[in-house]
């Protein structure tokens, strides 16, 4: 897949060694994660809200009530920040200092596009359901006119974006390696269980 | 535990029925989650970074390189936004519209306090390690002077804060209840596995 063009804002300053601008890495984090965090600026201060998200091609999608204050900011044309993070492990080092976590994170900056074409909007909402369970959109009672009307759908280009990927075991100072202290990684996974029927 | 005073900024506007201002609920989300999202405003636009966090009493703690641009913004006295979200379930309804997720989220607004007293800073970093594994801070090689110097620790009051808690099965329109469509909840859990030794 294509390499992403780095901008001044997405050039990773801290942790350059774990930075990635690979579209495959970015898409994988977006597709595998269930929650993103949406940041907007209101009167010079940040407001961050967690949200569901999904991806179609090179756009990330959000949805919600059209009355949501956050989406009103998006509709005013503000460049917003969407951040995603998957925790993969707790990393235990022999020293306090080198404890860390393994993770995959993505930061996207972009202006939102209101998806208002009826067919495109319906296809986008179908794609969200199919992320939750493949084929789900074809099984359920489809949205009626009112339900479509109160739901806002917004698409953001996945262009001004950077990722960080931290993997592996602990960093250690050479002189700490002989200490009799347990070290290693406790893997962290997000598990979707079996359906508890309604 | 004490009820939290609601401010204009933390009064939940959307989803009031699931809003909570209970300190026990808030603390539980902070303690159980491994990743928070920190939002700052830079030149009128939001920047959001994922980070580890921990809690001591009525303060939430962050740490990182003192050179981190985000912490420089904190040190300038900006009120920042810290958001946490634990996903508890994917909720499948008989209609497309009523699909949702079960979650517990917390949004905190506050100004950071640089923890620079040596003893307090050390105790705070010990508390972080002990969140990852109880008693860990007493087992490891403690931080040396240089390691302490390059690490910035910031405490934020958990005062201007709100929570949302969504639980239970799907909402349904009465007329959808007779449709032959599966519905219910797939529980989502974050699992910390056994140590893979280094």
Cα dihedral A97, A102, A108, A114 sign:
negative
Please tell me the predicted confidence (pLDDT) of residue A66. Answer: 81
B179 contacts in chain A (CB < 8 Å): 141
Owner of token pair 């920047």: B47
Interface test with B, best of A9, A10, A50 (most B CBs within 10 A): A50
B15, B17, B18, B20: CA torsion to nearest 10: 110
**Least confident interval from A137-151, A179-193, B14-28:** B14-28
Contact A195 B182 (CB under 8 A): yes
Per-residue model confidence as pLDDT tens digits over B19-68: 999 999 999 999 999 999 999 999 999 999 999 999 999 999 999 988 88
Which residue in B has a C-alpha nearest to residue A186's C-alpha?
Answer: B195
**What architecture is the B16-171+180-187 domain classified under in CATH?**
Roll (2.30)
How many CA atoms within 13 Å lie on the side-chain side of B39?
Answer: 29
- Say yes or no to pLDDT of B12 above 90: no
- How far apart CA B46 and CA B64 sit, in angstroms, is 19
Residue-wise pLDDT tens digits, A42-96: 999 999 999 999 999 999 999 998 888 889 999 999 999 999 999 999 999 999 9
Cβ atoms of B85 and B91 closer than 8 Å: no
* ipTM of the modeled complex: 0.95
Residues near B147 by beta carbon (within 8 Å), at least 6 away in sequence: A95, A96, A97
Query: Helices in A37-189 by DSSP H: which ranges?
Result: 69-75, 118-132, 136-139, 145-150
Distance from CA of B94 to the nearest CA of A (A): 6
Could B47 and A39 be called an inter-chain contact, meaning their C-beta atoms sit closer than 8 Å? yes
Closest by Cβ to A41, choosing from B44, B133, B172: B44
Which residue of chain A has the CA closest to B70?
A14
Banded pLDDT at B16 (limits 50, 70, 90): confident
Q: How far is CA A82 from the centre of its chain?
A: 7
Å between B196 CA and nearest CA of chain A: 5
Asked if B9 contacts B109 with a C-beta cutoff of 8 angstroms, the reply is yes
Written as one string, the DSSP assignment of B54-116 is EEETTEEEEEEETT-HHHHHHHTT--EEEEEEEEEEEEE-SBSTT-EEEEEEEEEEE--EE--
* Cα separation of the two ends of chain A: 41
| Nearest residue of chain A to residue B68 (CA atoms) | A14
| Class of A16-166 in CATH | mainly beta
Q: CB distance A185–B196 less than 8 Å?
A: yes
Write out chain B residues lying below 8 Å of A14, CB-based: 64-65, 67-69
| Average pLDDT of chain A to the nearest whole number | 95
Instruction: Report pLDDT digits (tens) over B138-171.
Output: 999 999 999 999 999 999 999 999 999 999 999 9
DSSP string spanning B1-69? -PBPPP-TTTS--SSGGGEE-BHHHHHHHHHH-S-EEEEEEETTEEEEEEE--EEETTEEEEEEETT-H
**How far is B156 from B61, CA to CA, in rounded Å?**
6
Closest residue of chain B to A45, computed from CA coordinates: B41
Give the C-alpha separation, A137 to A143, whole Å: 10
Any idea where the domains of chain A sit in the sequence? 16-166
pLDDT, tens digit, for every residue of A1-35? Answer: 566 888 888 888 777 889 999 999 999 999 999 99
DSSP string, A46-71: EEEEEE--EEETTEEEEEEETT-HHH
- Secondary structure (3-state) at A131: helix
Q: Tell me which chain A residues have a C-beta less than 8 angstroms from the C-beta of B62.
A: none
Contact state of B92 with A195 under an 8 Å Cβ cutoff: yes
Residues on chain A touching B185 (C-beta within 8 angstroms): 195-196, 198
Do residue B143 and residue A95 have CB atoms under 8 angstroms apart?
yes
pTM exceeding the 0.90 threshold for the entire prediction: yes
C-alpha–C-alpha distance, residues B197 and A181, integer Å: 11
Q: What is the pLDDT of residue A1?
A: 58
Cα–Cα distance between A127 and B182 in angstroms, integer? Answer: 19
């Amino acid at each position: 897949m294509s390499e992403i063009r780095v901008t001044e804002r997405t050039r990773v300053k801290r942790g350059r060694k774990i930075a990635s601008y690979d579209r495959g890495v970015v898409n994988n984090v977006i597709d595998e994660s269930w929650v993103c965090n949406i940041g907007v600026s209101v009167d010079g201060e940040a407001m961050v809200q967690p949200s569901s998200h999904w991806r179609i091609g090179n756009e990330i999608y959000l949805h919600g009530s059209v009355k949501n204050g956050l989406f009103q900011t998006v509709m005013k044309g503000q460049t917003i920040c969407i951040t995603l993070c998957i925790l993969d492990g707790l990393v235990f080092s022999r020293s306090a200092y080198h404890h860390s976590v393994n993770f995959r994170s993505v930061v996207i900056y972009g202006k939102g596009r209101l998806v208002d074409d009826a067919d495109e909007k319906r296809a986008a909402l179908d794609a969200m359901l199919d992320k939750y369970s493949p084929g789900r959109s074809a099984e359920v009672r489809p949205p009626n006119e009112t339900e479509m009307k109160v739901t806002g759908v917004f698409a953001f280009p996945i262009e001004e974006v950077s990722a960080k990927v931290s993997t592996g075991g602990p960093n250690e100072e050479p002189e700490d390696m002989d200490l009799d202290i347990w070290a290693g990684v406790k893997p962290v996974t997000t598990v979707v269980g079996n359906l508890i029927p309604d």
